[in-house]
Chains A and B, each alone.
Chain A
Amino acid sequence: MSETYTIPVGPLHPALHEPITLKLEVSGEKIIGVDVFCSQVHRGIEWIGMNRNNPIQSIYLSERVCGICNICHPLCMVQAVEKAAEIEVPERAEYIRTIAAELERIHSHLLWAGVAAHEIGFDTVFHYTWALRENVMDLIEYLTGNRVTKAIMMFGGVRRDIKENGAKKLREGMKFYLEKFRKIEEIFLQDPTIKMRTRDVGILTREDALKLCAVGPTTRASGVPKDVRQDFPYAAYGDYEVKAITPDIYNGEVHGDVYDRIVVRLLEVKQSIEIINWALDNMPSGPLLAEKNLVRLKMKLKKAEGEGIGRVEAPRGEDIHYVRLKAGEEPFFSWKIRAPTYNNVLPWIPMLLGGQIADVPIVAASTDPCMSCLNRVTVVDVEKKKEFQITKEYMHKLSVKKTRRLMRNGR
Chain B
Amino acid sequence: MADEIIHFVEIIIGVFLVAVFGMIFGLLTKGIDRKLAAHMQWRVGPPVIQPFLDVKKLFCKENVVPRNAVAWLYNVAPIVCLTSVIAILLYIPMGSIPPILKGYGDVILILYLLTIPSLAMVAGGFASGSPFATVGAQREMVLMMSYEFPLATTIIALGWKISTLYPGEAAFSLTTFTKYPVWNIMGPFGIIGAIILLVVMILVTTGEITKVPFDIAEAETEIAEGVFVEYSGRNLGLFYLADAVKTVVMASLIVALFFPYNLSTYLGSSIHLPSIAWNAIDFLFYLLKLEIVIFFSMTFIRVSVARFKVDQVVKVYWGYLTLAALIALVLIALDILL
Task: Give which listed residue, B40, B306, B310, contacts A29 with CB less than 8 A.
Answer: B310
Residues on the A chain within 8 Å of B305, using CB: 122, 193
Chain B residue at smallest Cβ distance from A119: B221
Chain A residue at smallest Cβ distance from B224: A14
Task: Give the Cβ gap from B70 to chain A, nearest Cβ, in Å.
Answer: 17
Residues on the A chain within 8 Å of B216, using CB: 358
**Cβ-defined contact, A7 with B41, below 8 A:** no
Q: List 10 A-B contacts (CB under 8 A).
A: A5-B134, A7-B132, A26-B135, A124-B40, A124-B303, A125-B306, A128-B42, A197-B306, A197-B307, A361-B222
Known: A1-B138, A127-B41. 16 other contacts (CB 8 A): A5-B134, A7-B131, A7-B135, A15-B221, A15-B222, A26-B135, A119-B221, A121-B219, A123-B41, A124-B40, A124-B304, A356-B311, A357-B135, A358-B222, A358-B307, A359-B309
A131 and B309 in contact, given A14-B221, A121-B212, A358-B222 (Cβ under 8 angstroms): no
User: What string of 1s and 0s marks CB contacts (under 8 Å) between B219-255 and chain A?
Assistant: 1111110000000000000000000000000000000
Judge if B308 is at the interface, Cβ distance under 8 Å. yes
Residues on the A chain within 8 Å of B303, using CB: 123-124
A193 and B213 in contact, given A121-B306, A124-B40, A127-B42 (Cβ under 8 angstroms): yes
Task: Give the Cβ gap from B130 to chain A, nearest Cβ, in Å.
Answer: 10
Task: Give which listed residue, A8, A193, A359, contacts B306 with CB less than 8 A.
Answer: A193
**Which chain B residues numbered 70 to 92 have a C-beta less than 8 Å away from chain A?**
none
Chain B residue at smallest Cβ distance from A197: B306
Residues on the B chain within 8 Å of A121, using CB: 212-213, 215, 219-221, 306-307
A193 and B309 in contact, given A13-B224, A123-B303 (Cβ under 8 angstroms): no
User: What string of 1s and 0s marks CB contacts (under 8 Å) between B129-162 and chain A?
Assistant: 0011011001100000000000000000000000
**Cβ-defined contact, A127 with B43, below 8 A:** yes
**Cβ-defined contact, B40 with A358, below 8 A:** no
Judge if B163 is at the interface, Cβ distance under 8 Å. no
- What CA separation (Å) do A5 and B135 show in the bound complex? 10
**Cβ-defined contact, B224 with A122, below 8 A:** no
User: What string of 1s and 0s marks CB contacts (under 8 Å) between A48-75 and chain B?
Assistant: 0000000000000000000000000000
Task: Give which listed residue, A28, A194, A197, contacts B309 with CB less than 8 A.
Answer: A197
Task: Give the Cβ gap from B139 to chain A, nearest Cβ, in Å.
Answer: 8
- What CA separation (Å) do A26 and B136 show in the bound complex? 13
Chain A residue at smallest Cβ distance from B223: A357
- Taking Cβ atoms with an 8 Å cutoff, the residues of A that contact B are 1, 5-8, 13-15, 26, 28-29, 117-125, 127-128, 131, 191, 193-194, 196-197, 356-361
Judge if B312 is at the interface, Cβ distance under 8 Å. yes
Task: Give the Cβ gap from A163 to chain B, nearest Cβ, in Å.
Answer: 32
Residues on the A chain within 8 Å of B215, using CB: 121
**Cβ-defined contact, A358 with B41, below 8 A:** no
**Cβ-defined contact, B224 with A194, below 8 A:** no
A128 and B135 in contact, given A121-B219, A360-B222 (Cβ under 8 angstroms): no
Task: Give the Cβ gap from A120 to chain B, nearest Cβ, in Å.
Answer: 4
Task: Give the Cβ gap from A180 to chain B, nearest Cβ, in Å.
Answer: 14
Chain A residue at smallest Cβ distance from B38: A127
Residues on the B chain within 8 Å of A8, using CB: 131
**Cβ-defined contact, B307 with A356, below 8 A:** no
Task: Give the Cβ gap from B211 to chain A, nearest Cβ, in Å.
Answer: 10
Task: Give the Cβ gap from B300 to chain A, nearest Cβ, in Å.
Answer: 11
**Cβ-defined contact, A358 with B309, below 8 A:** yes
Task: Give the Cβ gap from B75 to chain A, nearest Cβ, in Å.
Answer: 24
Task: Give which listed residue, B135, B219, B304, B306, contacts A117 with CB less than 8 A.
Answer: B306
A128 and B41 in contact, given A7-B135, A14-B224, A119-B221 (Cβ under 8 angstroms): yes
Task: Give the Cβ gap from B206 to chain A, nearest Cβ, in Å.
Answer: 13
**Cβ-defined contact, A193 with B43, below 8 A:** no
- What CA separation (Å) do A120 and B311 show in the bound complex? 15
- What CA separation (Å) do A118 and B135 show in the bound complex? 20
- What CA separation (Å) do A357 and B42 show in the bound complex? 31
Chain A residue at smallest Cβ distance from B139: A29
